[in-house]
Amino acid sequence: MYLQLHRLTIHLDSEYTAVNQAWRWLFDGWLVDQPAQVDIRLQMNLVDELPSLPTSALIFTDSRPLPDDIGVLSVYAAGPDVVWLFYHDGALVQASLAATVAQPTIRGVVMPSALTYGRLEDITFTSLASALRRQGYYLVHAFAAAKDGRAVLIVGASGSGKTTAGLSLLLGGWQLLANDILLLESRDDGLYALPTPGGVSIRPATFDLLPALKEWLIVRSSGSSVAVSAQQLTRGQWAEPARVAAIWLPQIEATRPCSQLQPANRAIALVRLLEESADRWDAAALDAHVNMMEQLAQQTAVYHLLLGQDVVNLPELIEGVLQSAE
């Protein structure tokens, strides 16, 4: 199948139905017929057990564990400008870091346990990240929405409330750019957030705070998490690329009755952006990546978003702050 990701065409290649079904769900609305040219190829096969790990040098280990403390990613050298990406919960991928490879092919294997949308989404985008950077696209973990030509990024770790805050914006008339993995591109007048497909997991507490979500998504029960593709969430009405105007750093404060925005230091925003974006194992692209995140922190208003019980009122709060900052 072929993913049209803005000006790039990516061939998602697998012989396995389960992998293709997971990709179709993630990239619903973004798949196209076979094009005349392919820019990047990602080949992923399904295995019951991963092959032996590389014996070459370990160059990176992610210090942030998954919920079961098994870790996320280790990276091994595989030759000049080639690395093995070992996803601890069930995938092994070989990717090129060379700057001059035309139509790079990324090859890997994935176990059934890693085919849930959240893990396959991370595996797919992380495996593509080095090739995307060499085409001018940089990834950051953030919820992003746009209105009136301005984009807002909500940047925080899992469980920080970024999806709940972002969904409140959508209910308030904003349009979705991305739920968790966002593409950024440098243009003449600054950095732009680009609509980026993926999946959205909505927890029961979010339905409690935003009861209108049930009707909007036609959800009968909110007793467990609900997973939808971003295409379902937008009903096909994605935001246009928009210049990033603000960054919110969310923090849940359950006892706070009213949410609040407090100005934040740009250096703090830069640290958060790097934590949620930079692949230190891609050393050749690291300087450019850091420079882009510095530019992003400088061009935006930055706030701590203290999330209280009135999340439904966030659109009014945020638009008021954006207007006063103009």
3-class DSSP state for residue 73?
strand
pLDDT at 63 over 80: no
CATH number of the structural domain spanning residue 235: 3.40.50.300
Give the pLDDT of residue 128.
Answer: 96
Give the pLDDT of residue 326.
Answer: 61
Say yes or no: 105 and 188 in one domain. Answer: no
Of the candidates 122, 118, 183, the one whose C-alpha atom is nearest the C-alpha of residue 151 is 183
- CB of 9 closer than 8 Å to CB of 37: yes
Q: Which domain holds residue 67?
A: 2-135
Give the pLDDT of residue 85.
Answer: 96
Say yes or no: 199 and 144 in one domain. Answer: yes
- Residue 79's DSSP bridge partners are 82
> Of the candidates 112, 135, 158, which is a domain's last residue?
135
> Of the candidates 108, 135, 162, which is a domain's last residue?
135
At 71, the pLDDT band (50, 70, 90 cuts) reads low
Give the pLDDT of residue 83.
Answer: 95
Say yes or no: 125 and 186 in one domain. Answer: no
pLDDT, mean of residues 293-307: 94
For the beta carbon of residue 32, count every other beta carbon within 10 angstroms: 10
Say yes or no: 145 and 199 in one domain. Answer: yes
How far apart are alpha carbons 195 and 144 in whole angstroms?
8
Say yes or no: 98 and 152 in one domain. Answer: no
Q: How far is CA 239 from CA 113, 125, 249, in A?
A: 33, 20, 21
pLDDT, mean of residues 66-82: 75
Tens-digit pLDDT profile for residues 13-55: 999 999 999 999 999 999 999 998 999 999 999 999 999 988 8
Tens-digit pLDDT profile for residues 174-206: 999 999 999 999 999 999 999 999 999 888 888
> Of the candidates 101, 135, 169, which is a domain's last residue?
135
Say yes or no: 126 and 181 in one domain. Answer: no
Tens-digit pLDDT profile for residues 218-259: 765 556 788 889 998 888 899 999 999 999 999 988 788 888
At 65, the pLDDT band (50, 70, 90 cuts) reads low
Tens-digit pLDDT profile for residues 76-124: 998 889 999 999 889 999 999 987 777 899 999 999 999 987 889 999 9
At 213, the pLDDT band (50, 70, 90 cuts) reads confident
How far apart are alpha carbons 276 and 305 in whole angstroms?
17
Say yes or no: 218 and 232 in one domain. Answer: yes
Say yes or no: 145 and 131 in one domain. Answer: no
Q: Where are the strands (E) in the chain, listed by range?
A: 2-5, 8-13, 31-32, 40-46, 58-61, 73-79, 82-87, 91-96, 105-110, 137-141, 143-147, 150-154, 175-178, 181-187, 190-194, 199-202, 226-229, 242-252, 260-263, 301-307
pLDDT at 66 over 60: no
Give the pLDDT of residue 319.
Answer: 80
Count of structural domains, the chain: 2
